[in-house]
Amino acid sequence: MTIDFHSEVKTSFNRAAKSYDAHAFTQNIIGQRLIERLQLVTTPFQHILDAGCGTGHFTKILRSQYPKSQVVSIDLAYNMVQKASKNKSSWLQRKPHVVNGNIAHLPFQDNSFDLIFCNLAIHWTKIEDTLTEFKRILKPEGMLSISLPGPDTLCELAQTYEIIDPFSHVNQFYDMHDVGDELQKLQFQNAVVDMEKITFEYTSVWSLLKDLKMTGVRNIHPNRRRHLSAKSRLDQLIKAYPKNAIQKYPMTFEVIYGHAICPQKSTSTSSLRIPLRVI
């Protein structure tokens, strides 16, 4: 399973904050599909959390889609939070409420939210910790809506690197059964977990690698190479990377979507948790 290298992940996304929006095509496509699934739900959401909000792209969309709701967003990377805090909805002209914090240790009271929206963030954490926290802060009958990459994500990159050296260059990802099992363990109701594969096409391997780097995607595999790859190894990668029928370089994302309802819970007396930084 993916290991939570907390400080490495935070550093990577802090560095990517300035470049993220210009390169987050993949993240935006997947997040938009998650938003579209929410549009099938007629239940009103009074309090919404955008968990792992990045620069606030989907916080803005959620505020637009649910104008009568209070939308709060949280992200591990402080630089991302700074950008998200400036991402106002022009028609609202209200500063968003953005918190700097870890989604695996959320600084919110129990039963605080009617909806948690989490696009491509859970896989940077231990899934059992994060889903437990999501259950804690969701109100009974509140909705959880998540997306995360599955095991075949970046399969072309992983398979090409296997030809070059013995190290792992792509993270291990949870599969659909892991997600379903964790939701079941936590007694989430009406859980629906499904998967699709989306293939993006690039004109060069360099542009593919650049999009990954500029959006903070980092290899935290335990078997990863501990120093930078030599230019000769990157040249080998470019030469060996497969092209498709139209001479483009494919990048596959296996996307897992999960939707579930929070069960009824026993009365909790846990105290208020205060975030370290609120922007």
- Asked which of 20-34, 44-58, 125-139, 259-273 is least confident by mean pLDDT, the reply is 259-273
Q: At which residue do the structure tokens 């078997």 appear?
A: 223
Strand blocks (E) in 15-149: 47-51, 70-75, 97-100, 113-119, 138-149
Q: How far is CA 128 from the centre of its chain?
A: 15
What is the band of 172 on the pLDDT scale with cuts at 50, 70, 90?
Answer: confident
- Asked which of 70-74, 95-99, 223-227 is least confident by mean pLDDT, the reply is 223-227
**Mean pLDDT over residues 109-115, rounded?**
97
What is the band of 271 on the pLDDT scale with cuts at 50, 70, 90?
Answer: very low
- Which string of DSSP letters, residue by residue, matches 182-231? HHHHTT-EEEEEEEEEEEEEES-HHHHHHHHHHTT-----TT--SSPPPH
Residue 187 corresponds to which tokens in the numbers above?
């007694």
Provide the pLDDT for residue 221.
Answer: 64
What is the band of 274 on the pLDDT scale with cuts at 50, 70, 90?
Answer: very low
pLDDT at 278 over 90: no
Provide the pLDDT for residue 2.
Answer: 43
Residue 19 corresponds to which tokens in the numbers above?
């470049």
Averaged confidence pLDDT in the chain: 88
**Mean pLDDT over residues 161-184, rounded?**
86
Asked if residue 39 lies in contact with residue 245, where contact means CB atoms within 8 angstroms, the answer is no
pLDDT at 86 over 70: yes
Residues 14-27: tens digit of each pLDDT: 999 999 999 999 99
Provide the pLDDT for residue 275.
Answer: 47
Q: At which residue do the structure tokens 């907390």 appear?
A: 6
What is the band of 269 on the pLDDT scale with cuts at 50, 70, 90?
Answer: very low
Residues 118-168: tens digit of each pLDDT: 999 999 999 999 999 999 999 999 999 999 999 999 999 999 988 888 666
Work out the angle between the directed axes of helices 25-38 and 57-65 (0-180°, nearest 10): 20
